[in-house]
Structure 1
Amino acid sequence: MAIRSLGAASGLDLESLVTQLVTVERNTKETRLDATKKELDSSLSGFGKLKSALTKFKDTLTALGDDKLRARTTSIKQPTDTKTYLEAKSSGTAAPGSFDIKVKSLATGSRIESANEAYTSPSAVISATAGKLTFEADGKTFDVNVKANMTLDEFRKAVNSASGNFGVSANIINAGEGVGTKLVLTSSITGEGNELKITSDNAELDSLSTQAFGNSDPASGGLDVAIKAANAEVVIDGISVFSENNTFTNAIQDTELTVLAVTPDANNATLTIDTDKKAAEDKIKAFMNAYNSLLSEVETLTKNRTLGDDGKTVISEGGALSSDPMVRSIMSQVTKTLGSAFSSGGAELNNLYALGITFNDQGKLEISTTSLYGGDSGRQRFDNVLENNYDKIADLFGGDDGISESLDELISQFTNRDGLLVNKETSLKDQLKNNTKDREAFERYIVSYEDTLRQRYGALDSTLGQLQSTSSYLVQQLANLPKYGS
């Protein structure tokens, strides 16, 4: 008869014994695996937080690099409140100043028309033979194929839909008696000398050309230039400046002007270019806040465990990276760099203190409003530099070997794809994978361990059962012997 559970043969609670032994073995190993995983997860999360804080800090350095702190504001007092005549934007190298600007004329494209009474209606045939017309302005060209017996309206549509059309619009005006139906072609190519020119490949199309076939005279065709292409003109502080289009680049050095309308007589626009102090201050404060956040994150990640007076009771757990000296080393290097002198800002602005930025008692960056030892406060120094040495701030942060470049180079050693923090994270992830493999291997082991115990204790149970059966048999036999009872 088969034994269904341990102890059934012997009567002993062997099932409970095996269960307890397996539980002890499982708990001992799982406790170690869980503790290892918890520590690895905590470290991986800690390095992720550190890398994130460093990356955010690095991003603020990018906003301070190059010439990004040389921002300029442009404001325009328009001649009237109801219309915009002029727009402008300046690069960081534009010199501050104020300019009186008159928009004298806008740039225009050319307009070409057919002769009066050249056509009687849009359905008039423009040519009995086929040919090709070439449209050209300012070096740009496109072709229109004319079919035999094509009508004026068909030609209009062919021009407007032509491949490569650079801005020529064909229209038909039905003017009536004395004028008839006129073909009007306008070009968006502006600038003096950039009139639209139309040539053909045969004399039959001369009526649709500005220059007759085989003729060197540019005005020998059947189409006349009604309006010539013209430049835009502005008068800046009494000096006339011209542009082929309505945008003036560097008419005022490092400034782009866009004219939209002619200004009224004796009522000009006023353009003011100034340093953008608020934008510079906002970027610098974002940099300070990012550093302070980085410092707080590092302090949280590296804090030590706090124990009670008995030396055993845990009052607060330590940081996820409290045992890793590299984290404090990173922060120490960043802080040391910030406290250094930088030649990029020149002798008058070669460190953060000269800009008004100092470390407070908690090690965080601040612009103090308190004066010490009779000197200027940090706020006073900061405002003075913004007002009188604005572009030197860009040199201090964005110049060669300036603050931005120096810190970016330092932090990149840790945050780049092959940086120390990434290598740390890779190592921790590998250890977590090994932990998972160890757990899977242990699950296989515990099944084998339990099976082995069941085999051993099953054999024991069977042996004890047989012994008990033999013992009972002997007792019964002995009891049947004469005088056994006495």
Structure 2
Amino acid sequence: MAIRALGSASGLDLESLVTQLVKAERMTKEDRLDTTKKSLDSSLSGYGKLKSSMSKFQDAVKALSLDNLNARTATVKQPTDTKTYLEATAKTTAAPGVFDMKVKTLASGSRVESADLAYASASAVVSTTAGELTFGADGKTFKVNVTANMTLDELRQAINTNKDNFGVSANIINAGGSVGTKLVLTSSITGSTNDLSITNNNAALDGISTVPNSGGTAGLTVTKAAASAEVIIDGISTFSKTNTFTNALQDTEFTVQNVTPDGNNATLTIATDKKGTEDKLKAFIDSYNSLVSEVESLTRNRVLGADGKTVVSEGGALNSDPTVRSMLNMVTSALGKAVGSAEPGLNNLYSMGITMTNNGRLEISSSKIGSTSGRERLDSALKDNFDGIAKLFGNSDGFNTTLTSLVTQFTQKGGLLENKETSLKNSLSKNTKDREAYTRYIESYENTLRQRYGALDSQLGQLQSTSSMLSSQLASLSNIR
């Protein structure tokens, strides 16, 4: 069945009429839905920006913890530019100072060798009977099973591939002549008195042991004893089983890599990290100022022209939400308080050189207020009361703790900002569902109009047909004389 266009029967432009009616009906509701969605999207984006700025400020605050601000730098001046002799780190509790460091010896492991001419070749048999060797050093042990008629090379491989091997390396040197073939064992276990020890449970294995069984004669001897590292600090000798020294200087750890040249020692300087602290303070100031700028942008009012109608500039995405400025006011208020546990002369931001400008930003001012400028007060604190800065921020009632706690209320999961975002997302979801429902309504509305105007078109067509017939008949009657 062919589909007939509206108006084809009556000759009226009913198709255009229905199209205009549907368009008018659609625009009325869609404009409201579009306006609502635009507002919701803008608000959601605004809260995302605010949350991001709050989080960045929070990160800058966390960097001002007690441990971070008490940080110490450990700098080593090497004796020459060609080698690294010493590397060091210091805890926050290390005392600043400069130390002369002479690396006298490095820690080393022991070396064990078989006697000259003990073996003619790597295929020589080490024992005609089976047994077990136990390797030990500094409390560590592992065992190797020796099979009957095992060769020297087979023993080497059994040692090197043992899964419990703690650092013993077995090698064979085929020297020949008056030396013959030698079994050489090196241990990575360092420190004096930590020589490699090899015992057995079968006297037939004494030739490959450092300790004989039942008073026999050992075939392996220690040719190089394990040694400790020695470093002379300001003329005082200190020792370590390894090449790492922990607390030889209290709360400091250093590792030695090479022996220093005679008469040319390394210099270790432990100091407060003034530059790192100032960088963290500047990051704190910048992040707060960025937060202020973001809040101002998000909450700015719409500006109208002189006619009271023309929009000069649109308002911020969150200008209708008073809680946004309230959050910033709470942060600003916390910044203005004194820290009770801090030192009396350094218990607020102003005392360490950070002031609030007239436009609500933080700064380290070079302009003097009274007898000093902010720059001068900060320099003085960094030089003469470095640990006081750490107390101001890092103590339990310091700015790090109070600001972190405050901002966390806004940014945490389930916090104020997330709840705002969740509410907006729910509203956007409802907006989408409303749009889908309205689309279905418009389709139904258009179908209803088409049915009604289709019936009207048919009726008008019939009336026009009847009218034409009557007119024709009347014309025929008028011709009858």
- Shared fold per TM-score greater than 0.5: yes
What amino acid sits opposite 1:90 in the alignment?
Answer: A
SS at 2:46 equivalent: helix
Q: 1:255 aligns with which of 227, 252, 257?
A: 252
Q: 1:343 aligns with which of 340, 344, 353?
A: 340
User: Is residue 459 from structure 1 mapped to residue 468 from structure 2 by the alignment?
Assistant: no
What's the TM-score once normalised by structure 2's chain length?
Answer: 0.96
What's the TM-score once normalised by structure 1's chain length?
Answer: 0.95
Corresponding position of 2:397: 401
Counterparts of 1:68 and 1:362, CA distance in 2 = 30
Give the CA deviation at 1:390.
Answer: 0.7
Give the CA deviation at 1:126.
Answer: 0.9
SS at 2:346 equivalent: coil
User: Is residue 390 from structure 1 mapped to residue 386 from structure 2 by the alignment?
Assistant: yes
Corresponding position of 1:50: 50
Let me know the Cα RMSD of the aligned residues. Answer: 1.8
Counterparts of 1:51 and 1:338, CA distance in 2 = 19
What amino acid sits opposite 2:312 in the alignment?
Answer: I
Pairing of 1:6-45 with structure 2 (within 5 A): 6-45=6-45
User: Is residue 164 from structure 1 mapped to residue 164 from structure 2 by the alignment?
Assistant: yes
Instruction: Tell me whether 173-182 or 409-418 shows the greater mean CA deviation.
Output: 173-182
Corresponding position of 2:243: 246
Note if contact 1:3-1:9 (Cα within 8 Å) is conserved in structure 2: no
Corresponding position of 1:286: 283
Counterparts of 1:84 and 1:56, CA distance in 2 = 38
User: Is residue 352 from structure 1 mapped to residue 349 from structure 2 by the alignment?
Assistant: yes
What amino acid sits opposite 1:476 in the alignment?
Answer: S
Corresponding position of 1:427: 423
Pairing of 1:80-479 with structure 2 (within 5 A): 80-214=80-214, 221-373=218-370, 375-479=371-475
Instruction: Tell me whether 75-84 or 21-30 shows the greater mean CA deviation.
Output: 75-84
> Can you list the C-alpha shifts for 1:308-346, whole angstroms capped at 9, x where unaligned?
011110000000011011111111111111111112422
> Can you list the C-alpha shifts for 1:52-82, whole angstroms capped at 9, x where unaligned?
1111111111211131012222222333343
SS at 1:68 equivalent: helix
SS at 2:61 equivalent: helix
Counterparts of 2:292 and 2:373, CA distance in 1 = 24
Give the CA deviation at 1:186.
Answer: 0.9
Give the CA deviation at 1:164.
Answer: 1.8
> Can you list the C-alpha shifts for 1:411-431, whole angstroms capped at 9, x where unaligned?
111111111111111111111
> Can you list the C-alpha shifts for 1:270-306, whole angstroms capped at 9, x where unaligned?
2111111111111110111111111111110100000
Alpha-carbon distance change, 432 to 214 in structure 1, aligned in 2, over 3 angstroms: farther
Instruction: Tell me whether 475-484 or 321-330 shows the greater mean CA deviation.
Output: 475-484
SS at 1:92 equivalent: coil
- Count matched residues: 481
Note if contact 1:478-1:484 (Cα within 8 Å) is conserved in structure 2: no
What amino acid sits opposite 1:413 in the alignment?
Answer: Q
What amino acid sits opposite 1:15 in the alignment?
Answer: E
Give the CA deviation at 1:369.
Answer: 0.2
For structure 1, which runs of at least 5 residues remain unmatched after alignment?
A: none
Counterparts of 1:468 and 1:257, CA distance in 2 = 109
For structure 2, which runs of at least 5 residues remain unmatched after alignment?
A: none
SS at 1:64 equivalent: coil
Counterparts of 1:365 and 1:482, CA distance in 2 = 104
Instruction: Tell me whether 168-177 or 379-388 shows the greater mean CA deviation.
Output: 168-177
Sequence identity, in percent? Answer: 66
Note if contact 1:367-1:378 (Cα within 8 Å) is conserved in structure 2: yes
Alpha-carbon distance change, 430 to 248 in structure 1, aligned in 2, over 3 angstroms: same
Alpha-carbon distance change, 483 to 171 in structure 1, aligned in 2, over 3 angstroms: closer
